[in-house]
Amino acid sequence: MAMSFFDQFASPSYLGIPLIAIAIALPWVLYPTPSSRWINNRLITLQGWIINRFTNQLMLPINVGGHKWALLLASLMVFLITINMLGLLPYTFTPTTQLSLNMGFAVPLWLATVLIGMRNQPTVALGHLLPEGTPIPLIPVLIIIETISLFIRPLALGVRLTANLTAGHLLIQLIATAVFVLLPMMPTVAILTATVLFLLTLLEVAVAMIQAYVFVLLLSLYLQENV
């Protein structure tokens, strides 16, 4: 039983062909594409307004040079939210519960921000490794600590997203199993447990959106340091 709880995180396959590529590509099919008409419908207008507000808020503290990342970060935000939300549906697979996928997003984008900082302002980028006013005996230790913290950033990005979504899915499955077990024996307790399950599902919807926002927000903060 304990192992079956983790079967939902296994990458699905059909005839030996992994289906994770379909799970990754599916969200883009669900979004309406803008038409060539002068006036769009309400859904496209609402979609554009939400993305514009998010992009403006995200790019507000970043210099003009970092605004080239607006399209990439907004697209990543929409992609992560959609995948996280679709993963809450029954009989679906959540690709963002795979650490390899999240690290595949986190490492290249973090490395790009670091390389941009080293190219545009190497003195400032290297200055982050040594706080101003550090006593001379502590300089080697602080440089090592700051370097380690710099390289831990992409790992923290990937692990945070994976851990939060995995924990939420496990809690939902555990409580749902408890509801089915308790229903024939103690219906009242099963109803109360089902209420908790409903509230937890609402919480997981919020977590799915918040974790996608936090992932992109931290990337924008790393970009802000190096632009």
pTM of this prediction? 0.84
**Side-chain-side CA neighbours of residue 15 (13 Å):** 0
pLDDT on residue 124: 79
pLDDT, tens digit, for every residue of 107-126?
999 999 999 988 888 887 78
Q: Is the pLDDT of residue 203 over 90?
A: yes
3-state secondary structure of 67: helix
Cα 90 from chain centre: 20
Residue 101's domain comprises 5-224
Measured between alpha carbons, how far is residue 23 from residues 6, 147, 153, 190, 221 in Å? 18, 36, 27, 33, 29
Comparing 34 with 165, the larger pLDDT belongs to 165
Q: How far apart are the first and last CA of the chain?
A: 50
pLDDT on residue 1: 46
Domain total of the chain: 1
For residues 75 and 107, what is the distance between their CA atoms, to the nearest angstrom? 17
Least confident of 73-82, 98-107, 121-130, 158-167: 121-130
